[in-house]
Amino acid sequence: MSRSTPSKQQPLLVVDGDSFAHRAYHGLPKTIRRTGGKGAGAILGFANFLLKFYEAERPRAVLVGWDTLDEPTYRHEALPSYQAGREFEDDIVEQLDVLPAFVSACGFANAKAAGYEADDFLAAAVAKEEKRGGAAVVATGDRDAYQLASARTIILQPVKAGELARIGPAEVLQRYGVEPKQVPDFIALRGDASDRIPGALGVGPKTAAALLRRHGSLEALLKAGRFERQAKELRLYRSIATMDKSAPLPALRNQTPTWDRAAELAHGWGLNKLAERLVGLAEASQRRRSKT
């Protein structure tokens, strides 16, 4: 992964915690356990992702956003089929509960609140960072985040074999055929099978992109008389696909990682190789500080 950001300044790194925890959980052996026989694959894999991102991006601060699994959002209430059928094993749920403690031990910030998804915290953090004139790198496996791409914000997305793609506005246009700001409209028209968003009848990705290139927006399409019978539903789908920039955030001041604290936590969990890596980061940070 090459080191490049939308600007020369240190970016804000925003991470979709659930996305990478689930990716780690399903990508590593379930035999990886921590003290007390509890699961550790999601913890270890997520930690490796987080440290990889940090070392590559050298951000000024890190925010990790989390879903709240036991509380519905307005999306679930507005569209009962939204994400229907998703069930998680107890092992991953337990690890998701303790992962924010690891993030905090590293000296980074968490965002989690009832009624919001991790996506919403990503959007809120990007909006806040861009407003202050900063740059952001958003790490997520969710393509809905393409709507956040801009001249100041890059989406960092896993592809295969550990590779990470850097997605800016040009890449969104190349992949979807629409501009980032059109992505919620695109999802509303095309639908999203993973989130159980039906989309417009008979409309696939190519047709959705062509319609938006011609008309500019879903609203313009509806005003032109297209999809009259589905207008209400399509507006709802667009609302559901739009990340909520008003999600509550913690303070996002510049951070100094506390690798030693994270190492202690990892050691207490019996994750000794992770603890050793964190000790190495702590020692390297100390050497850099002693030279300045």
Residues 162 and 196 in one domain: no
Residue 288 lies inside a defined structural domain of this protein: no
Give 226's contacts (C-beta < 8 A, 6+ positions apart).
Answer: 211, 215
Number of domains in the chain: 2
Question: In this structure, are 181 and 141 located in the same domain?
Answer: no
Domain residues for 215?
Answer: 176-241
pLDDT tens, N- to C-terminus, the chain (292 residues):
444 444 468 999 999 999 999 999 999 999 999 999 999 999 999 999 999 999 999 999 999 999 997 777 888 888 887 776 677 899 999 999 999 999 999 999 999 999 999 999 999 999 999 999 999 999 999 999 999 999 999 999 998 877 899 999 999 999 999 999 999 999 999 999 888 899 999 999 999 999 999 999 999 999 999 999 999 999 999 999 999 999 999 999 999 999 999 999 999 999 999 999 999 999 998 888 777 6
The per-residue pLDDT for 3 is: 46
Residue 101 shares a structural domain with residue 157: yes
Give the pLDDT score at 193. 86
Q: Report yes or no on 52 lying in a domain.
A: yes
In a domain, 97, yes or no: yes
**pLDDT at position 6:** 47
Any domain includes 39: yes
Q: Is residue 4 part of a domain?
A: no
Q: What is the pLDDT of residue 7?
A: 44
Q: Is residue 127 part of a domain?
A: yes
Closest CA to 61 of 7, 124, 125: 125
State the pLDDT at residue 81. Answer: 76
pLDDT value of residue 8: 61
Q: Are residues 53 and 181 in the same domain?
A: no
Same domain, 106 and 131: yes
